Amino acid sequence: MGQQILNAIFIGSIYALFAVGYTLVFGVLDILNLAHSAVFMLAAAVTYTLVVNHGQSFWLACALAIVAAALMGVVIEYVCLRPLRRRRAPPIAALISTIGLALIIVAAVEQGRPGTLFSWLWVDGANSVSLPAGTYPNPIWNLGGLTLEGTKLAVIPISIALMLLLGYVMRFTQVGRGLRAVAENPRAARLMGIDVDRMIMLTLIISSALGGLAGILFGVALGDISPYIGRDSVEVRGLAVIVLGGMGSVPGAVLGGYLLGAIEVLAVVLLGSNVRAGVAFAALFLMLVLRPQGLFGAQLRERL
């Protein structure tokens, strides 16, 4: 039982970290960035390629991968979102646009094989791989029947630290105030002299960097890096988390992540493993029907 609680805390941290990026974009832009899960995967893939195929040190590879993820944020803004805003397109077009970018990123990694166009990025095709043992420190302690893995434990303080950092930035820095102003009312923000486009760009950079970091931690702690890790494992659950926690709320995303982790593990323990995912989504549905603003979201205002 204790092991299951540890499992819940760990997976909750991953969901939370992923969702924080998601909710940031949604809170500021009211858009679901569906390329987020692709960036998540890309950072893990880049880390692996740098370490295994280009012989870099793990820490350098991580840093470069996060930079790559942040750059993808720039790409998302320039390629997917800005042209549509300029053309005054209906917002759902942005959804499709990010879907298209996600498709490209996943396909590019999936087709990375030796001797092909994308072999600089990835050479393992559709396979699932993991970083070789010894690449990064991963001490394992067995205490009182419980197994504690260093990498999984490390995820928890990292997630919490990031949430605190983000909270600090949002509340106390110029940049954070600018972001909140844009989220609240962009026309007014513009009138106050805030460069809205730049704020949006910044949101995407931060969000994508966070998503990328979540991907690296996922790949490292779970020993699973493949072109599909974003889509299969976390994409839909990320949506569930931000709904449970409240859209646009960063602490909500974090708590929502742990809540979902707890629900899933409880379902495994009490009801049997096969209904874990079904229960999670049923909970999502119920939450939306009963309390759509989630745990921490503001009361939904009428959108006029």
Helix axes 235-245, 250-266, angle to 10 degrees: 110
- Count other C-beta atoms under 10 Å from residue 96's C-beta: 12
**C-beta of 10: minimal distance to another protein in Å?**
7
Q: How many CB atoms lie within 10 A of CB 88?
A: 6
Which of 164, 188 has the CB closer to another protein?
Answer: 188
If the CB atoms of residues 118 and 175 are measured against another protein, the closer one turns out to be: 118
By beta-carbon proximity to another protein, the closer residue of 3 and 173 is 3
- What are the structure tokens assigned to 147, written together? 């197994």
What is the C-alpha separation between 126 and 116, in angstroms, rounded?
14
* CB nearer to another protein: pick between 64 and 222: 222
Q: Please identify, using beta-carbon distances, which residue of 63 and 269 lies nearer to another protein.
A: 269
Q: Which residues contact 103 (CB under 8 A, 6 or more apart)?
A: none
- Collapsing DSSP to helix, strand or coil, 29 comes out as helix
The least CB distance from residue 13 to another protein, in Å, is 11
In whole angstroms, how close is the CB of 53 to another protein at the nearest point?
A: 13
d(CA 299, CA 12): 25
| Amino acid at residue number 267 | A
Q: How far is the CB of 127 from another protein (least distance, A)?
A: 5
Q: Return the amino acid letter for 70.
A: A
Q: How far apart are CB 168 and another protein at their closest, in Å? A: 25
Q: How far is the CB of 226 from another protein (least distance, A)?
A: 6
Q: State the burial class of residue 270 (Cβ atoms within 10 Å of its Cβ: 0-12, 13-18, 19+).
A: exposed
Backbone angles phi, psi at 65, to 5 degrees: -65, -40
Q: What six digits make up the tokens of 56? A: 């870099």
For 129, the 3-state DSSP assignment is: strand
CB of 18 to another protein, least distance (A): 10
Q: How far is CA 62 from CA 57, 118, 219, in A?
A: 9, 20, 11
Residue type, 108: A
Please, what is the minimum distance in Å from the beta carbon of residue 163 to another protein? 20
d(CA 130, CA 35): 23
Nearer to another protein, 70 or 247 (CB): 247
Partners of 148 in the β-ladder: 141
Residue whose CB is less far from another protein, 63 or 288: 288
